[in-house]
Amino acid sequence: MNKKLQRDIIYFAISCLLILFILITKVEGPLERFLWILVYVSGGYSKAKEGVQLTIENKSLNVEFLMILAAIGAAFINYYTEGAILILIFSLSGILEEYAINKAQKSLTSLLTLTPEKAILITPSGDQVVNAKSLQVNDIIKVPVGQLIPADGEIILGNTHINQAAITGESNPVYKDISDHVYAGTLNMEGFIQVRVTKNPADFLVTKMIDFVHEAQRNKTHQQTVIERFEAIYVYIVLALAVLVMIFLSVYRGIVLLVVASPCALVASISPVMLSAMSWGGKHGILIKGSKVIEQIHQCDVVVFDKTGTITLGIPVVSNFVISSNIDSSEVINLVYAMEKQSHHPLAKVIVDYLEDKKSKDIELSIEEIAGHGIVYDNWKIGRFEYEQSIVDIRNNEGFTTVNIIRDNILVAYFYLRDTIREDVDVTIETLNQMGIKTLLLTGDNEMSVKPLLNEISFNEVYTNLLPQDKVSVIERLKADGHHVMMIGDGINDAPSLSIADVGVAMGQGSDVALETADIVFMNNQLSNTIDLLRLAKKSRRIVISNIVFSMSVLVLLVILNLLENITLPLGVFFHEGSTILVILNGLRLLWFNSKNFA
C-alpha cells in the first residue's frame, strides 16, 4: 500500500469519526458548522487537491471539480449532512479506485525483480563489493547460492539451477552450466557460479523490461483518449445544465444533477481493464507495450510467423545417423566423436552431444580444419567433402543438413540434422485456423528446407526465399487488402516486419533490435501465447464495452430521475459512486482471466 493510499484512508477514517460524533452528540450552532467543515476538509482534501492539480495541468475542468462544487453547494443551502455523505462516498470511491489501480499496477510490476544494488567483482587484488550499475562488459563476478544475479552474463565456472520467474514467468528452475547465459534479477538457487558480464547495465534484459512496462503504462487506447476529450467538454455542459435546473426547478435539484451527471464511471471504464490485462500478461510471460496494443490485437485476422527461432528453436538436432553395414560402427562412432570434439563448428557440439553416450572409448588425435568444408584426420574426412563412391544407403535428404563421413574417399556414414520445431507449434496453428485466423509462414529458407516442416504443420500460405524487404512487402500487401496483421519473429532481420505490422511480437530470446521494435514480447518463448493474447484482447474489449454501456445507462437513468424529482442527493451519490466502483471491479476480473475457459 503506497503512502497516498494510506493517507487517504486516514482522512476517510477521520471524516467517519467526525460524522459519528456530530450525529451522536447532536451538537448545534457554530460548533456543528465547524465540525462539518472539518468533515469536508478531511474527507475531500485528497480529491480536491487532485482536481485542482488536473485542472491546472490540463487547463480544463474535470469530474473532481463537479463533485467539489456539488458538496460546497449542498453546504451553502444548509444540506450539511447530504454534502458530507457526498464527500464521504466520493472519498471512499476514490480510495477503492486507487486501491484497484495500485493492485493492477503491483501485479504488473511484481514480475520485474529488480537487480541487486551490489555485486561481488573479482579483481587481481581480490574480491570487491561494488555497485551493480558500475559493472562493465567482461567483468567477472561471483554469485553465491541464494542471491540474485546482478548482471546479464555467461557462466564461466560452476553450474546451478536458476529461478527465472521474474523474466520468463516460468516457475520451474532452469539448469545452467558453463557457457549458458543468465539474466540480471534471476535467483541462483543451487550452486556457486562465476559469471562474465556480457552487457552494460542499461542493456540488461530486466532493464529493458522495466522500460517496456513504464512505456506500457503511459500508452492509452483510442477509446481512452476519446473519453478524456469528451470529459473535458462534458463537464462544462453539466455545469450549464445545472445552472438551468437551479433556475427552473430548484438549487437542490441542480446540485443533485452535478453529482449524478458526472461521468466518473465512464472515465473509469477502460483504465482498470487495460492495466489488469497487462498484469495478466506479465504474470504469464507476456509483456505488452501499452493498452493501445491490446485494442489492436482483437482486430487481427492474420498472424504471420518467421521460421527460424520462432516456429523452430534455431537449434539443430541429429535426425538420423546412418553407418554402412560393411564397417565397424563402434570404430566410426569413437573416431567421429574424437574428431568433432576438437572442432569449433556450431554443428560439432550437436554431433558430440548425440554421440556422448554411444562411444565406447576416448581416442586422442589431432585434426585439421578446412574452412567451408570440415575437418580431416589421416584418411578420414567429416563435413562437405566430395567422395568417389558410397558403401552406405543414401536416403532422401530433403530439408536436412547433411554431414558426410568419408574414409579413403568412400562415403561410409552420414548424419542428417534438422532444426527443432517448438513443441506447441502444431496446436497453436491448428487453434488459430479453427478461430478463423489466417496463418502465414515467411522464411528466407529455400522450399526444400521447409518441406519437412510443412509435412507436420498446416499453414494457410507459405513464402520461401524471402529477404527482409520481401517480408515487409508481403505484410504491406496484406494490410492493403484490409487485413490486420500480427507478425511474430525473433531476429534482427525481422525488425522491419515487426515495425510495419499492426502488432509486432518478438520471442524472448530474440535480438535486442527485435525486442525494442516489438509491441509484445513472449518472455517464456511459448508460441501458444498467441492464442492467449487474442483471447485476452477479445475479453478486454467485451468488458470495456459492457462498462461503457453500464456507466452511460446509470448516468442517463439518474439524470432522468433527478429531473422528475424522484431521487435524493444521498441516493444519487450512492448509485453514482456505486456504479463507479462496480465498473472498476468488473475491470479487475481480468486479473483472474482463464484463457482455456474463454469462449
Domain segments of the chain as ranges = 3-109+214-274+537-597, 118-203, 300-501
pLDDT of residue 511: 57
Percent of the chain with pLDDT over 70: 90
E strands within 359-491?
Answer: 368-370, 374-377, 380-383, 389-390, 401-407, 410-421, 438-442, 461-463, 485-489
User: 300-501, superfamily in CATH?
Assistant: Calcium-transporting ATPase, cytoplasmic domain N (3.40.1110.10)
Amino acid at 308: T
Tell me: pLDDT of 323 over 60: yes
pLDDT of residue 63: 76
158-172 mean pLDDT: 73
Range with the poorest average pLDDT among 242-246, 397-401, 546-550 = 397-401
Tell me: pLDDT of 302 over 60: yes
Assign 490 a pLDDT band (cuts: 50, 70, 90): confident
Cell of 178: 558453463
Closest Cα to residue 496, out of 457, 444, 449, 548?
Answer: 444
For 118-203, CATH number? 2.70.150.10
pLDDT of residue 47: 76
562-577 mean pLDDT: 87
List Cβ neighbours of 267 (8 Å cut-off, separation of 6 or more): 63, 227, 228, 231
Range with the poorest average pLDDT among 183-187, 458-462, 486-490 = 183-187
pTM of the model: 0.75
Assign 220 a pLDDT band (cuts: 50, 70, 90): low
Query: Average pLDDT, whole number, for the chain?
Result: 84
pLDDT of residue 115: 63
Q: Which one has a higher pLDDT value, 108 or 413?
A: 413
Amino acid at 307: K
Do β-strands 401-407 and 410-421 pair in parallel, antiparallel, or remain unpaired? antiparallel
Assign 163 a pLDDT band (cuts: 50, 70, 90): confident
Assign 240 a pLDDT band (cuts: 50, 70, 90): very high
Could you read off the pLDDT of 84-141 as tens digits, one per residue?
Answer: 877 887 787 778 777 766 665 565 555 454 567 889 999 988 889 999 889 999 999 9
Tell me: pLDDT of 205 over 50: yes
Cell of 395: 536416403
Q: Phi and psi at residue 273, in whole multiples of 5°?
A: -65, -50
317-338 mean pLDDT: 91
Would you give the end-to-end CA distance of the chain in angstroms? 35
Q: Annotate 45-75 with b (16+ C-beta within 10 A) or e (fewer).
A: bbbbeebeebeeeeebbbbbbbbbbbbbbbb
Q: Annotate 221-243 with b (16+ C-beta within 10 A) or e (fewer).
A: bebbeebeeebeebbeebbebbe
Could you read off the pLDDT of 505-521 as tens digits, one per residue?
Answer: 988 765 566 667 788 88
Could you read off the pLDDT of 31-66 as tens digits, one per residue?
Answer: 888 888 888 888 887 877 777 777 777 777 777 777
d(CA 263, CA 268): 9
Show which residues are catalytic: 306
